[in-house]
């Protein structure tokens, strides 16, 4: 499922992925604490997510449920980044990524394990 989410919509989704189903009121309280948003802002962003098919509204109490997983969004955003910035080349993306960081030995070991799993 290809859905383009903006940063504000991702904030709503992140709360649902972390907390599970919440009412719109509960979401508004969490996002007020985490981002300073008022209730109207949260409700506007929830509506946009519903319109895009990322969230389902359930009754009673305007309960919100995520229809897409965090992993699906991560895969889609990563593919878009690779296509946009690295001419669709995962090798160029990976090379740029690993050459731009100062990895610890532990992180290098984990990266090696990930690559070995692909074989």
Kindly report the backbone phi and psi dihedral angles of residue 48, in degrees, each rounded to the nearest multiple of 5, phi listed first.
-65, -40
From edge to edge, which strands make up the β-sheet containing 22-23? 22-23, 63-66, 55-58
Residues in CB range of 40: below 8 A, 6 or more apart: none
Say what the pLDDT of residue 102 is.
Answer: 82
Give me 31's structure tokens.
């996002």
Arithmetic mean of pLDDT over the chain: 94
Residue with tokens 């802002």: 41
| pTM for the full predicted model | 0.83
Say what the pLDDT of residue 1 is.
Answer: 63
pLDDT at 23 over 90: yes
Say what the pLDDT of residue 81 is.
Answer: 95
pLDDT in tens, 65-117: 999 999 999 999 999 999 999 999 999 998 898 887 788 889 989 988 998 99
């Amino acid at each position: 499922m290809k859905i383009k989410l903006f940063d504000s919509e991702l904030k709503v989704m992140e709360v649902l992925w972390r907390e599970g189903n919440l009412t719109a009121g509960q979401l508004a309280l969490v996002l007020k604490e985490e981002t300073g948003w008022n209730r109207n802002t949260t409700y506007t962003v929830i509506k946009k997510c519903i319109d895009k098919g990322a969230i389902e509204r359930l009754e009673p109490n305007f309960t919100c449920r995520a229809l897409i997983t965090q992993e699906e969004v991560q895969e889609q955003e990563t593919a878009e980044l690779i296509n946009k910035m690295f001419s669709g080349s995962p090798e160029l993306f990976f090379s740029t990524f690993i050459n731009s960081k100062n990895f610890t030995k532990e992180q290098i070991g984990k990266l090696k394990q990930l690559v070995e799993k692909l074989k």
